[in-house]
């Protein structure tokens, strides 16, 4: 993959010295007002549906939610209508919101998560929570990993036979053989494990350690027990062309330097089919995994 100066920066790439800024409504939300609005139909089933979708994705942008709702068959007039409804739910305390600032300026989008007043509404309907208020304190690379994962799903969702967000693969036989990728997918009798990788200070060492764990997982786990094929393709998604090249360098380094060690430990090494993509490959509906 060749990098040029014209390559458009992904909105979900981490910028230099980036910070996630927690937003606050202009006026402090009040539970009494929300209760009144619910009882009088101002806060209605459509708002509850939005709240459930935000909870499902943990963090989501208005554009992503708009695309999700269209795909699910809901009648949504425009992305702006979705943004307006999210803004109302944010000001009501039902949702929380963050935006991003860095050395290159302020980000162009905001990410929404379940707020303090939204949590009891979900619990009252027996909806399992996927996040907590502490998630807003996550580093930008953690939040943007979630947003980039959403975009991968939105782009490849058509024709999937099975999907799982943030599955856990763990071996009970081998130490440190545990990974939690972004997605596992099954489509047309093929399986994929997708790991969306973000940059941050020290990301290279972190990814190298994670890929070493992937090697152990692929050697010691029966993926069929996870409703996948015996050896799913590992898909690594980087921020841009240069980042993808960095991922390839680390993978090749681990594959070569750990070969003798793994053969000694496991009695042989197992081939892993690896594909590399960058964020911009998932801007529209994609057939990358078809």
Which structural domain range is residue 115 located in? 19-138
- Do 35 and 127 lie in a common domain? yes
The yes-or-no verdict on residue 2 having pLDDT over 50 is no
Q: How many CA atoms lie within 13 A of 257 on its CB side?
A: 10
pTM beyond 0.75, yes or no: yes
- Do 276 and 163 lie in a common domain? yes
Tell me the mean pLDDT in the region 108-130.
95
Please say which residue of 77, 104, 138 terminates a domain: 138
- Under the banding of pLDDT at 50, 70 and 90, the label for residue 288 is confident
- Under the banding of pLDDT at 50, 70 and 90, the label for residue 204 is very high
Rama region for 147: left / alpha / beta (φ>0; ψ in -120 to 50; rest): alpha
The answer to whether position 8 is within a domain reads: no
Please say which residue of 138, 170, 194 terminates a domain: 138
Helix (H), strand (E) counts: the chain? 9, 11
């Amino acid at each position: 993959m060749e990098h040029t100066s014209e390559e458009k920066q992904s909105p979900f790439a981490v910028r230099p010295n980036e910070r996630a800024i927690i937003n606050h409504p202009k006026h402090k939300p009040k539970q009494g007002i929300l209760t009144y609005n619910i009882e009088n139909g101002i806060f209605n089933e459509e708002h509850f549906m939005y709240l459930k979708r935000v909870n499902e994705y943990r963090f989501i942008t208005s554009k992503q939610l708009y695309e999700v709702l269209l795909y699910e068959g809901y009648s949504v007039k425009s992305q702006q209508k979705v943004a307006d409804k999210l803004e109302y739910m944010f000001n009501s305390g039902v949702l929380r919101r963050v935006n991003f600032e860095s050395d290159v300026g302020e980000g162009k989008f905001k990410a929404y998560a379940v707020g303090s007043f939204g949590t009891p509404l979900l619990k009252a309907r027996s909806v399992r929570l996927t996040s907590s208020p502490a998630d807003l304190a996550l580093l930008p690379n953690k939040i943007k990993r979630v947003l980039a994962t959403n975009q991968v799903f939105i782009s490849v969702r058509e024709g999937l036979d099975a999907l799982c967000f943030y599955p856990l693969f763990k071996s009970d036989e081998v130490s440190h053989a545990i990974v939690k990728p972004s997605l596992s997918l099954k489509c047309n009798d093929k399986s994929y494990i997708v790991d969306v990788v973000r940059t941050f200070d020290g990301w290279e060492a972190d990814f190298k350690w994670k890929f070493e764990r992937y090697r152990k997982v692929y050697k010691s786990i029966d993926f069929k027990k996870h409703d996948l094929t015996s050896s799913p393709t590992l898909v690594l998604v980087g921020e841009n062309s240069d980042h993808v090249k960095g991922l390839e360098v680390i993978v090749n380094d681990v594959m070569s330097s750990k070969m003798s060690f793994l053969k000694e430990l496991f009695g042989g090494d197992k081939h892993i089919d690896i594909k590399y993509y960058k964020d911009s490959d998932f801007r529209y509906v994609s057939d990358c995994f078809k």
